[in-house]
Chain A
Amino acid sequence: MRAARIVLVVVGVLVMAFGAYVLVTTVRPVRIWGLATWLLGAVVLHDAVLSPFVVGVGMLLRRAGRALRAWVLVVVQSAIVLGAVLALVVVPEIAAKDHGQKNPTVLPFDYGTRLLVVEGVLLAVVVVVLIVGVRSARKRPAALVEPTTNR
């Protein structure tokens, strides 16, 4: 195990060094500074925005999930995660189209409307599942699950 770990770390460092070599030999120094700001920005984005957001949403889900059945919570949670990831992917697409298509075959759809429709469908699923879940919980009040998750 120890030998394998050392080999992996050494190989990994060498591959990283090759990446750095490729970078400095193919990209001009001024541009590398531009890249450095983006790399730093990614760390800041992750540590200061993404993580607190996810933890916060997770806490709200956990709070809300206290009174829900397991399957209801699983469906609601999946819908929220899918909706968030789709928004992450499609909002930049809307911005890209807004910025200007190179020709009409690039980004041909109305992505804003499509995103609203899909998110609306997901929201409808969440509402239906919540209603069904709460109703069935009233019928059998003893079978509630405990807080299950904060995602």
Chain B
Amino acid sequence: MASPNRNARSAVVTGRLLGVAFLVCFGTGVYSHLLQQPLPGMRFPTQPAQLYQFTQGLHITAGIAIIPLLLAKLNAVIPALVQVPPVRGVLHLLERVSIAVLVSAAIVQVVTGLLNTYQWYPWPFPFKQVHNALAYVIIGSLVVHIGVKLRIIARYWRARDSYDEHGRFVVDTEVGSELVPETRSVPGATEYPRGLTGRLLRWVDGAPTAGAPESSPERAPELAPADAEPRPGGHDSPSGTRTMSGQPSLGEREAAPAGDEVAARDGHRQTVARRGFVAGVTAATVGVVALTAGQSSVLAEPFNVFGPRQRHRGPNDLPVNRTARAAGVLATATAADWVLTVAGPAVTRTFSRAELVALGTAEARLPIACVEGWSQTASWKGVRMRDLLAAVQAEPGSRVRVTSLERHGGYRVMDMGPEYAEDPTTLIALELNGATLDLDHGFPARVIAPGRPGVLQTKWIEKIEVIV
């Protein structure tokens, strides 16, 4: 369990990255949530039109990056999991409970979020509501965690405060870190625990098992096997105790004849281990992001090996989330007598598809950006929403409600604020990428507006009402 990477500095470094990733996910997640369920009086930017595509792509990418970072962080703090004694008092118990909440909520959040991008929901609770609630639980317990660990975080924030001149981790027991490396007396396998654990560790380190070295706590450094595990401050400490020295290098150098050499070797060993750790975490994070982000990023598109979507795959050169069959609109959407009803405060008009096509000469290049993370910009052609509203003498700045032919589903009815309804790029789309809108993309007509989640780009529309 002792490893050069399981110390307070590693916990701070991985925790920092993880904290940033969680904050990014939280901010972008709350933005996506508010877009779908705005508080009264809220308005959102319609420009740049790629804003939601960017924030939601970032949400999913940062969420994927959390997986290796969370594993790295949990790995760095494993010794704290099995600390002895497990509980030191009421405050300590509360602290450990808050960490348990943070860890379990984070794991559930990441697992369900990942499976959501695969559109697979094998759990007994609603995804959206739980994902939203757990986000606050995670951020709250994260803030508690930072508050509890603030002294340790400040102590090991900078690399130059964390390592001595040989590159060895500086143990500081004043700040209350539970990740104090075990100090086996330098050098040689003098302090392995008794029993099975000790045997296992000796095998791991290739230390001699014969002659049970527990009885010789003070071997000379010259006799050390080349692969011994020297530890800062361990040399002059009695066998079996944790060294509590804050200045391992100075004290040790004076006490040990060959201390400098040992320190340098130990520093080198720790530095190599550190680089290995950083390299592993970096490789995993960059690798897993690069091989999946192609579903939402043009840059990563050539490396889209494991993305749950592929851009340009689907009818009209665009992926589909909900098909006409799944929505139950196969008959109603293809009916010859389909009309779009537009209801203003005083006037109500209906438009057949032919009439809409005659009016529909406006074009816009807007992205479809799904909450599951994939996105793609497409060319849309149709009638401007504001022109249709003007045709029923609606006041500028009206809110509208759009109803789909779908008979069920959470997004059958969609409300649109005036900022979108007035925007010249908000269309009742009839054509997509130069061809008639595919049935699975919302034929006979659908909404496309700038900067909104895909679930609000209502397909198979039958009614637009001005609401007060």
Contacts and interface: CB of A to CB of B under 8 A. Distances in A.
Contacts of B272: 70, 73-74, 145, 148-149
A151 B287 CA distance: 18
A12 interface: yes
A131 interface: no
Contact-residue bracket for chain A: 35 or more
Contact of A9 (B100, B144, B319): B144
23 contacts: A1-B151, A8-B144, A8-B146, A11-B147, A19-B135, A23-B129, A34-B125, A35-B124, A38-B124, A46-B103, A46-B107, A50-B71, A59-B200, A86-B291, A89-B306, A92-B120, A96-B119, A99-B122, A105-B313, A107-B118, A107-B119, A149-B277, A151-B276
Interface string A1-43: 1001111110111111111101100110001101101111011
Contacts of A50: 71, 74
Contacts of B319: 105-106
A89 B64 contact: yes
Contacts of A146: 226-229, 265, 269
Nearest to B139: A15
Contacts of B226: 144, 146
A17 B140 contact: yes
B367 to A, nearest CB: 16
B227 A66 contact: yes
B68 A85 contact: yes
B377 to A, nearest CB: 16
Interface string A44-65: 0111001100110011001100
Contact of B269 (A7, A59, A79, A145): A145
B123 A89 contact: no
B107 A32 contact: no
A82 interface: yes
Contact of A35 (B130, B144, B282): B130
A86 B306 contact: yes
Interface string A108-122: 110100110010000
Interface in A68-93: 70, 73-75, 77-82, 84-86, 88-90, 92-93
Nearest to A37: B124
A46 B71 CA distance: 10
A133 interface: no
A16 B137 contact: yes
Contacts of B276: 70, 73-74, 77-78, 148-149, 151
A10 to B, nearest CB: 8
A55 B78 contact: yes
Interface string B255-278: 000000000010011001101110
A114 B310 contact: no
Interface in B128-145: 129-130, 132-145
Nearest to B326: A102
Nearest to B68: A85
Given A62-B204, A96-B120, A148-B273, A89 B67 contact: yes
Interface stretch (B1-9, B409-417, B445-453): B1-9
Nearest to A16: B140
A85 B320 CA distance: 28
A85 B288 contact: yes
A22 B133 contact: yes
A127 interface: no
A54 B70 CA distance: 13
A124 interface: no
Contacts of A90: 306
A44 B400 CA distance: 49
Nearest to A76: B276
B309 A93 contact: no
B104 interface: yes
Nearest to A142: B226
A42 B150 contact: no
Given A32-B125, A43-B104, A74-B272, A27 B133 contact: yes
B174 interface: no
B81 interface: yes
Interface in B225-267: 226-229, 265
Contacts of B340: none
Interface in B272-310: 272-273, 275-277, 279-284, 287-288, 291-292, 305-310
A47 B229 CA distance: 27
B440 to A, nearest CB: 7
